[in-house]
Structure formats: structure tokens, C-alpha cells
Amino acid sequence: MTDTTASGFPAPGFPAPGFLANARDLDDEAIVRALGLVLPAACVPGVAMNVRLLEDHIATLRGERR
């Protein structure tokens, strides 16, 4: 987990609430539903893939993943 003392990060009040921390465990439709998005079917797989990618980057930012 992130060391909050050595680096001064995260700042007070962070980490923020998760985006969709369990995105890796959900199927594409469930991700889109969980975010409250109403999308054409053609967008669902790509959006879900990108949500998973963003969750990876959030985890990296917080020092939870290299």
C-alpha cells in the first residue's frame, strides 16, 4: 500500500473514493451499468476495457501496483 508518510502523498483527504475497484471482476455490461452509463452496444466492450485500464493506473498511482 501507499506510504503516506515518506513521500507526502497522498495528501490529506486522499485516497479518493474508488472509481470501480472491482472492475477486473466484472463483465463488460456490469462495468457500464455500475458506472451508470447508457451507451450504444458498440461502445460497451471498449469502454469496459478502458475502465479496467484506468483502475490499473489508479492502483499504480496509489502505490498498490507497479
Partner 1 sequence: MSIALDADAVRCGRVKAVDLAREAIGRIRADPGLLAVTRCLEARALAEAAGVDAQVARGQDPGPLAGVTYAVKDLFDVAGLPTTAGAARLEHAEPAACDAEAIVRLRAAGAVLVATCNMDEFAYGFVTDNARWGITRNPHDRARFAGGSSGGSAAAVAAGLVGFALGSDTNGSIRIPAGLCGVYGIKPTHGSLPMGGVYPFVHTLDDIGAFARSAGDLALIDSVLRGQAAAARPLSDLDPAILGGWFAQNLTADMRDGLAGLGPLPMVEIEGVAQARSAAFLITAYEGGHLHAAALREAPLSYDPATRDRLIAGGALPDAIHAEALAYRAVFAERMRRLLDRHGILIAPVVMGPAPQMADPAVLIDGAAKPARANLGLFTQPISFLGLPVVAAPLAVPALPLGVQLIGAPGADGDVLAFAADLERKGLVRSHPVAPEQE
When binding is defined by CB under 8 A, the residue of 21, 22, 27, 39 that contacts partner 1 is 39
Q: Which residues contact 65 (CB under 8 A, 6 or more apart)?
A: 56, 59
16 lies in the binding site for partner 1 (CB under 8 A)? yes
In angstroms, what is the C-alpha Rg of the chain?
14
Q: Which helix (H) or strand (E) holds 54?
A: helix 44-61
Q: How far is the CB of 23 from partner 1 (least distance, A)?
A: 10
Q: Write out the residues near partner 1 by the rule CB under 8 A.
A: 7-11, 14-17, 19, 35, 37, 39-40, 42-43, 45-47, 49-51, 53-54, 56-58, 60-63, 66
